[in-house]
Amino acid sequence: MAIITLTTDLGDKDIYQAALKGSILKLLPGASIVDITHNVSAFNVQQAAFILKNSFHYFPEGTVHLIGIDTVFNKETKYLAVNYKNHFFVGSDNGIFSLMFNADPDEMVEINIMQDLKFLHFPLADIFVKTACHLADGGKLRDIGLPVNSIDKKMNLQPVIEKSLIKGVVIYIDSFQNVITNITKEFFNQVQQGRNFTLSFKRNETINHLSWYYNEVPEGEKLCLFGISDHLEIAINKGNASGLLGLNLGDTVIINFE
């Protein structure tokens, strides 16, 4: 089955999402189109990278992931098609690939499909769709582009170790207003080494226990856990952690170890 996922900042109220899906089905009527999200903040490459990085591996190998973030035609921007862990990604070379992947892609090409001028303002429905359908139908990367050896690099914010503490930051707030930090489970375990800890953040709030699930504490109580992304989350059981705790993107969280 040809599977094409969509991750864009197109939203849900305009014609753009319909134009994109219709263009895919014209070229590949049997395609299975899966919406990952169309609600990425406009041009927010970091947000899109976090969502895709933590979701693409749930799909079968051979899936094509079309990334519609910051794709407006620009003579300086390359459009790439990439093979990473037997998944294909189609997007602008705007740093998103370096933010998503933990290693170099297995293969990548700069797409050389001719731009249809009537789609100059909306290459998603032209170059990107043609590329995605070609790959989803079993086509090869080398048939639609020239090999490239480097991509635009952007760096994810990394947590910092200072003596017996970790300093991290909020990198994502989900639809439930759970607050996700840049501290991964692996990083936390390496530093913790079995020690007790105190997690502190705004308003002198603290948490000193890791939960396994959200309902482990009474409704309205705060907690921290490692969620589906394996990043440390701060949450409130059936509550709005971001709003009630005053935590926003870029805010600092500190973990002190005994």
User: What is the amino acid identity at position 125?
Assistant: A
Q: Which residue in the block uniquely carries the two structure tokens 């921290």?
A: 224
Which residue from 62, 9, 11, 65 is spatially nearest to 33, judged by alpha carbons? 65
Which residue from 34, 35, 131, 42 is spatially nearest to 89, judged by alpha carbons? 131
Burial class (CB in 10 A: 0-12, 13-18, 19+), 3: middle
> What is the CATH architecture assignment of 160-257?
Beta Barrel (2.40)
Which residue from 174, 73, 199 is spatially nearest to 128, judged by alpha carbons? 73
Residues 6+ apart with CB under 8 A from 171: 46, 50, 156, 157, 180, 181, 182, 231, 249
SS3 67: strand
Q: CB count, 10 Å around CB of 218?
A: 9
Decide if 169 contacts 250 (C-beta within 8 A).
yes
Q: How high is the pLDDT of residue 203?
A: 81
Q: How high is the pLDDT of residue 156?
A: 84
Interval 18-70: pLDDT, tens: 999 999 999 999 999 999 999 999 999 999 999 999 999 999 999 999 999 98
DSSP state of 113: P
Low-confidence stretches of the chain (pLDDT beneath 70): 73, 117, 119-120
pTM for the model stands at 0.89
Q: Measured between alpha carbons, how far is residue 130 from residues 29, 96, 111, 137, 187 in Å?
A: 13, 20, 10, 11, 40
- Separation CA 201–CA 188 (nearest Å): 17
- Separation CA 145–CA 79 (nearest Å): 10
> What is the CATH architecture assignment of 3-147?
3-Layer(aba) Sandwich (3.40)
SS3 171: strand
Burial class (CB in 10 A: 0-12, 13-18, 19+), 55: middle
SS3 28: coil
Q: What tokens appear for 113 in the block?
A: 């499909």
Q: What tokens appear for 50 in the block?
A: 């976090």
Which residue from 196, 199, 256 is spatially nearest to 232, judged by alpha carbons? 199
The domain limits of the chain are 3-147, 160-257
- Separation CA 205–CA 209 (nearest Å): 13
